[in-house]
Amino acid sequence: MAGEFTKISDLKYNVGKAVTIGGWVYHSRPGGKVIFLIVRDGSGLCQCVIEKANIDGQLFRDLKHLSAESSLTITGTAKEDQRSIGGYEIAVTDAKIICFSKDYPITPKSHGIDFLLKNRHLHLRSKRPWCIGKIRHTLIEAIRTFFNSNGFTLVDTPIFTGIAGEEASSLFGVDYFGQPVRLTQTGQLHLESAAMSFGKVYCFGPTFRAEKSKTRRHLTEFWMVEPELTFIDLDDLLGLAEEFVTSIVTAVLRNNLAELETLGVDIAALEKISPPFYRLTYTEVVEILTSKRASDFLCAQLEDFKSQRRNIQRQLDELQAESETAQKQWKKDKIASELIDLRIELNEIDAKIENNPRHAELASKFEWGKDLGGSDETIISLMHDKPVFVTHYPRKAKAFYMKQNESDEKVVDNFDMLAPAGFGEIIGGSMREDDYDKLLGKINEHGYEVRNYQWYLDLRRYGSVPHGGFGLGVERTLAWITGEKHIRQCIAFPRMTDKILI
Around 401, how many Cα atoms within 13 Å sit in the side-chain half-sphere?
A: 25
Rounded CA Rg of the chain: 27
Q: Which of 186, 230, 356, 482 binds ligand 4AD (CB under 6 A)?
A: 186
CB nearer ligand 4AD, residue 26 or residue 147: 147
Using CB under 6 A as the binding rule, whether residue 456 contacts ligand 4AD is answered as: no
C-alpha 178: how far from chain center: 36
Select from 70-78, 284-292, 387-395, 469-477 the region that touches ligand 4AD (CB under 6 A): 469-477
CB nearer ligand 4AD, residue 190 or residue 359: 190
- CB neighbour list of residue 2: distance below 8 Å, 6 or more residues apart: none
Using CB under 6 A as the binding rule, whether residue 226 contacts ligand 4AD is answered as: yes
Among 424, 491, 429, CA closest to 186: 429
Interacting positions 325-344 with ligand 4AD (CB under 6 A)? none
CA dihedral sign, ordered 476, 477, 480, 483: negative
Interacting positions 306-325 with ligand 4AD (CB under 6 A)? none
**Paired sense of beta strands 45-51 and 88-99, if any:** parallel
Q: Which of 280, 426, 443, 479 binds ligand 4AD (CB under 6 A)?
A: 426
Using CB under 6 A as the binding rule, whether residue 424 contacts ligand 4AD is answered as: no
Select from 3-11, 92-100, 214-222, 491-499 the region that touches ligand 4AD (CB under 6 A): 214-222
Q: Which of 95, 201, 298, 427 binds ligand 4AD (CB under 6 A)?
A: 427
Q: Which of 182, 392, 398, 476 binds ligand 4AD (CB under 6 A)?
A: 476
In the bound complex, what is the minimum distance in angstroms from residue 274's beta carbon to ligand 4AD? 21
Neighbours of 495 (CB within 10 A): 14
Using CB under 6 A as the binding rule, whether residue 425 contacts ligand 4AD is answered as: yes
Using CB under 6 A as the binding rule, whether residue 230 contacts ligand 4AD is answered as: no
Number of residues that bind ligand 4AD (CB under 6 A): 25
DSSP structure string for 152-171: PEE----SEESS-SS-GGGP
Neighbours of 471 (CB within 10 A): 22
CB nearer ligand 4AD, residue 387 or residue 469: 469
CB nearer ligand 4AD, residue 95 or residue 472: 472
Using CB under 6 A as the binding rule, whether residue 429 contacts ligand 4AD is answered as: yes
Select from 11-19, 28-36, 234-242, 466-474 the region that touches ligand 4AD (CB under 6 A): 466-474
In the bound complex, what is the minimum distance in angstroms from residue 361's beta carbon to ligand 4AD? 26
Select from 71-79, 218-226, 289-297, 309-317 the region that touches ligand 4AD (CB under 6 A): 218-226
Provide the β-strand partners of residue 35.
Answer: 30, 50
Distance CA 229, CA 464 (A): 13
Q: Which of 88, 389, 400, 470 binds ligand 4AD (CB under 6 A)?
A: 470
C-alpha 128: how far from chain center: 12
Q: Which of 428, 433, 456, 482 binds ligand 4AD (CB under 6 A)?
A: 428
Q: Which of 161, 188, 391, 482 binds ligand 4AD (CB under 6 A)?
A: 188
In this structure, the dihedral spanned by the alpha carbons of residues 182, 184, 189 and 193, taken in order and rounded to 10 degrees, is: 90
Strand-by-strand arrangement of the 278-281 sheet: 153-154, 200-208, 221-230, 467-473, 424-431, 414-419, 388-391, 278-281
Q: Which of 204, 222, 366, 480 binds ligand 4AD (CB under 6 A)?
A: 222
CB nearer ligand 4AD, residue 7 or residue 218: 218
Angle, CA 478 vertex, CA 476 and CA 484 arms, to 5°: 85
Contact 111, 122 (CB under 8 A): no
DSSP structure string for 17-36: SEEEEEEEEEEEEE-SSEEE
C-alpha 69: how far from chain center: 26
Select from 29-37, 51-59, 302-310, 467-475 the region that touches ligand 4AD (CB under 6 A): 467-475
Using CB under 6 A as the binding rule, whether residue 218 contacts ligand 4AD is answered as: yes
Interacting positions 161-180 with ligand 4AD (CB under 6 A)? 165-166
Distance CA 64, CA 35 (A): 7
Where does this chain bind ligand 4AD (CB under 6 A)? Answer: 165-166, 186, 188, 209, 211, 218-219, 222, 224, 226, 425-430, 469-473, 475-476, 487
